[in-house]
Structure 1
């Protein structure tokens, strides 16, 4: 049986999308976008790209600016972002050798959506916290800080 790739299956899926069935189209769109969103929409990727939008940074500087990220989580996220073409890793000719991370034009194209998401989080964060507290009080579920 011949091996197929995701790219070779996409045209067949798109034919179904043209059928006009909104449920089928939504499922196809979710299948097509899920892998992409998994790479860019996780917590650390969004924050790393936001940091790098302002200026190129070294590993330790990024780590200091992202309170709570572990060394391993940052290293893994930077590799994933570089693999996806969203950041560039440059070895600096310094002693000791340094590494600097810079956002690419592709990564820069996410700045506006991330700024909108950040503004939304600031504007609606308190509303989310109140909704969570109401839910936790109704269900008896402990909140994230451990209180009921």
Structure 2
């Protein structure tokens, strides 16, 4: 059995979680947390637990299927905790876990950046699209 130095072990550990590598597990996590519904739901849970119906109303445009799927994925990743309270009807609340709360400042920053910079992005898109249009050519008959 070959002995590795501490520097070699650190270098190996760094390459194990290099999101630029296709096989890196961190890439799958980045794919999950970069979803728009994840960002919006994490932000919606910033003020504390919310019921499913509250989240559905807060995050306009999300279908029941996507809301359920996203909440399940967040729960699976340890970012959201689901609490069922037996009652009639059954009450289900969702809340950020400590791990989810650690992601919140980043998600809030991205949401704020998007809200503040969308006019600039829209102008850039318009300029780009205009530059991609073929020039008007007179028709010859």
Pairwise CA RMSD? 2.7
In structure 2, the gaps of 5 or more residues are 1-7, 135-141
Structure 1 position 124 matched with structure 2 position 117: yes
* TM-score, reference length from structure 2: 0.77
Relative contact order: is structure 1 or structure 2 higher (C-alpha 8 Å, sep ≥ 6)? 2
Aligned residue pair count: 124
List aligned pairs for 1:1-148, cutoff 5 A.
15=12, 27-28=20-21, 31-140=24-133
- After TM superposition, the score normalised by the length of structure 1 is 0.74
Q: Give the SS at the match of 1:85.
A: coil
The 8 Å contact of residues 17 and 28 in structure 1, kept in 2 or not, is answered as no
